Structure 1
Amino acid sequence: MTDENCQHSPLEPVHEELGATFTDFAGWRMPVRYSSELDEHRAVRSTAGIFDLSHMGEIRIRGPQAGAALDHALSGRFSVLPSGRARYTLLLNRDGGIIDDLVVYHLPGGDFLAVVNAANTAVDLAELTARAQGFDAEVIDESAQTALIAVQGPDAAAVVTATLTAADLGADEISSLGYYRCCSGTFEGEPIGVARTGYTGEDGFELYIPASSAARLWRALRLTSAVRLTPCGLACRDTLRLEAGMPLYGHELTASTKPSQAGLGRVVSFAAADDFVGRAALEGRDGSADPVLVGLAGEGRRAARAGYRVLDASGVPVGQITSGALSPTLGHPVAMAYLQPGSAEPGTRLGVDVRGTTLPFTVVTLPFYARS
């Protein structure tokens, strides 16, 4: 895809000033790194990094029956979700496969905001719109006018607090915001949504602001004297989420993947009597023979990449790598893979075919890294 055919972040001029290297990601021209992805990764683990996530889709659901519409459309319960809370959930097809994974915020004021993967925005919008039919609810695509900036790392709260207390959000309101909670305020006269969520395994915030104000917010965050804030690209975001054992759509999650296979059975709610799309295919289903997602820890320095075969002690294929890298934090290769249940027990010694050489890996419990 040429640059002319790509979508462009409102922060693209800022990234160019910083000397970013760009890549085509889900049809968007996005920064993959600014300097060293290893340095960027370590900055998020040790201090704080700033990410442009404006390629993500934002879909607002409003109306008296917005929560009930989402109960039907998604795998979780939203009609009972308190205002100011967020929930990780799944958009399922009628066979119980995963169309997308997303986070839904119940915004102060009553509306819901679904934040979806860039590659799936059009599909998710169409599905949510169709599934809201018959409910007193409206589905609105706000992706084009919304920018998303993430600040992630141990010092993220200090950075966001120092920046936004100049607005109408108090320091206590930001610092005391719980995980998977959200609040709203203004920044330089523009509305801003503040959520304590992220995709790195660290503490962090995701900030939603009109695209026209994105560059001013980015610069204000970086100018704060609270801590040095490192610009970070998509490359280190991928290694951060992999260490944290977080699935990536198109790798660990697909339209044929069942939630229980990916360890996401907990986000599918069968507690209420209300129906949701995919429920009939999943409720009571015997998935004991399905391949399951596991973590693999390797030795040496060679990473197991997506698509590589996983072999048992006899050299028989028992699964396939979905994501893999040399872990910057741990110093050894880590990977996620779908394996046959008989080979998925933690402690099982396996091999991975890395370009014709079988390298040793051991099944481990996810995540590979968890902040203290």
Structure 2
Amino acid sequence: MNASSPPAGGTPKTPSTTAVTLPFQARIRKSAYFHASLKHGCHSFGVYNRTYISMGFQDPVKEYWDLLNGVVLWPVAGERQLEIKGPDASQFVQLLTPRNLDKFAVGQCKYLLVTADDGGIVNDPVCLKLGPDHYWLSAADSDIWLYARGINAMARMDVELSDPNVSVMQVQGPRSVDLMEKMFGPQVRTLKYYWCMESTLDDAPVVVSRTGWSSEWGYEIYLRDAAAGDRVFEHILAEGAEFGVQLGVVSQIRRIEGGMLSYGADMDLTTNPFEIGLGRLVDLEQSNDFIGRDALRSIAKAGAKRKIMGVSVPPPALSGFIEPWALEVNGDPVSTVTSLAFSPRLERNIGLTIVPTSLAEPGRAVSLVTPDGPVAGELQDLPFVSGRTG
């Protein structure tokens, strides 16, 4: 299917219960791209990491096809950085995560889980190593800055913890590499997946990484000079014109297709790494200490009691998903659906849920309890559609 293909089942209509006004306030941060996003037609905003984040420029189905077939710009303003610097920076970052960072090279990025003492997940950042003692945790929506300060109030390590006021633009889609090469030169084409480099864009300092939240080929541009936001925004649009660049926001459709989890929705402090399929990010044999080690060892020994699964529901497209829906098996509530979207190319509703391991079988019949009544579906292994990241 290509971008001209109409979505089967139609596009879900936004329920009237969400048609409310979110007034802009001085106390909520505005990123370097806030004013340019307004200028170029962003019609809705949310709040993420205490920052206004763009939630829509065009129809979400059009934005989805733009992502799959071309190149899109996502001003992901809420993707804030926890900067960790100082002689003990490496030790401190390791303390936060069960992933073994012994071989973490400068210029590399790693996807991490930050865990609590009981093994629950505090955040799932991408960590960029900018220098031997210099890290950024590119954080999901949470209070990781306060958490890190609380940890160091007890650990007393020699580190500086701050928010460097970086604004992130994701450049995603199959033609992203062409646009990025035009702006940064041929070296960006050979930049390895989950690696980064420092550069400039229209004379503004940036970090470029081969990462993104799309399950497609893509990059992220970390702008280090907030005053250059409007200029850089216009520069990227102008450079991308020949490639048909389109503005958009993170595609919930594509990220659910790819089985990408959203912190605060699909995982949180009550979730451990093993039940969401991320046990590979936990090294219980390493000599390094980390928070939650004893709890995670006990969980691993006992085995996960729940498992992340996909849930599939035939058309028509479901609407009104603004909070988790109960998931039932044989009429008994067993979990909730935490994310949901209608996939145009799969021509069905797809979602994410964590169910007891005893029920985690592909093809198992389930019911989603929607505001309009129960609808039948079935469990499915993840991902629904594999990624195209490299």
Same fold (TM over 0.5): yes
User: Given the alignment of the two structures, is residue 267 of structure 1 paired with residue 290 of structure 2, yes or no?
Assistant: no
Change (3 A) 1:93 1:109: closer
Residue 128 (structure 1) shift: 5.8
Match of 1:309 among 326, 346, 356: 326
User: Given the alignment of the two structures, is residue 297 of structure 1 paired with residue 312 of structure 2, yes or no?
Assistant: yes
1:250-298 deviations in Å (ceiling 9; x for gaps): 1111111111111111111223122200111111324546222111111
State the SS of the aligned residue for 1:7. coil
Change (3 A) 1:268 1:91: same
The whole-number CA distance in structure 1 between the counterparts of 2:343 and 2:93 is 37
Match of 2:43 in 1: 21
Match of 1:196 among 210, 218, 234: 210
The whole-number CA distance in structure 2 between the counterparts of 1:336 and 1:243 is 10
Q: Write out aligned runs for 1:1-372 (5 A).
A: 2-4=23-25, 5-26=27-48, 27-107=50-130, 111-127=134-150, 129-130=152-153, 133-142=155-164, 145-165=165-185, 171=186, 173-209=187-223, 210-224=225-239, 225-233=241-249, 236-285=250-299, 286-288=301-303, 290-303=305-318, 305=321, 306-312=323-329, 314-355=330-371, 357-372=373-388
Amino acid corresponding to residue 334 of structure 2 in structure 1: V
Residue 151 (structure 1) shift: 0.3
State the SS of the aligned residue for 2:236. helix
Residue 356 (structure 1) shift: 5.0
Change (3 A) 1:108 1:186: farther
Amino acid corresponding to residue 150 of structure 1 in structure 2: Q
User: Unmatched 5+ residue regions in structure 1?
Assistant: 166-170
The whole-number CA distance in structure 1 between the counterparts of 2:156 and 2:54 is 41
Change (3 A) 1:308 1:102: same
My pick for the range that moved more, 283-292 or 334-343, is: 283-292
Change (3 A) 1:28 1:72: closer
Calculate the aligned-residue CA RMSD, in Å: 2.1
Amino acid corresponding to residue 178 of structure 1 in structure 2: K
Residue 299 (structure 1) shift: 0.7
Contact conserved, 2:51 with 2:77, CA < 8 A, in 1? no
The whole-number CA distance in structure 1 between the counterparts of 2:144 and 2:268 is 15
The whole-number CA distance in structure 1 between the counterparts of 2:304 and 2:331 is 21
The whole-number CA distance in structure 2 between the counterparts of 1:127 and 1:347 is 45
Change (3 A) 1:218 1:124: farther
1:308-329 deviations in Å (ceiling 9; x for gaps): 12122x2122221111111133
The whole-number CA distance in structure 1 between the counterparts of 2:54 and 2:114 is 28
The whole-number CA distance in structure 2 between the counterparts of 1:122 and 1:62 is 14
The whole-number CA distance in structure 2 between the counterparts of 1:287 and 1:359 is 34
Change (3 A) 1:67 1:329: farther
Contact conserved, 2:45 with 2:56, CA < 8 A, in 1? no
Amino acid corresponding to residue 188 of structure 2 in structure 1: I
Equivalences, count: 360
Residue 108 (structure 1) shift: 5.0
Contact conserved, 1:68 with 1:78, CA < 8 A, in 2? no
How many percent of aligned residue pairs carry the same amino acid?
22
Change (3 A) 1:257 1:287: farther
The whole-number CA distance in structure 2 between the counterparts of 1:128 and 1:239 is 36
The whole-number CA distance in structure 1 between the counterparts of 2:143 and 2:70 is 32
Change (3 A) 1:124 1:52: farther
TM-score (norm 2): 0.86
Contact conserved, 1:67 with 1:79, CA < 8 A, in 2? no
Contact conserved, 1:100 with 1:124, CA < 8 A, in 2? no
The whole-number CA distance in structure 1 between the counterparts of 2:313 and 2:100 is 39
Residue 189 (structure 1) shift: 3.1
1:21-54 deviations in Å (ceiling 9; x for gaps): 1223234333211121111111011111101112
The whole-number CA distance in structure 1 between the counterparts of 2:262 and 2:247 is 22
The whole-number CA distance in structure 2 between the counterparts of 1:109 and 1:212 is 28
Match of 2:9 in 1: none
The whole-number CA distance in structure 2 between the counterparts of 1:276 and 1:109 is 19
State the SS of the aligned residue for 1:366. coil
User: Unmatched 5+ residue regions in structure 2?
Assistant: 1-21
Contact conserved, 1:152 with 1:200, CA < 8 A, in 2? yes
The whole-number CA distance in structure 1 between the counterparts of 2:150 and 2:178 is 39
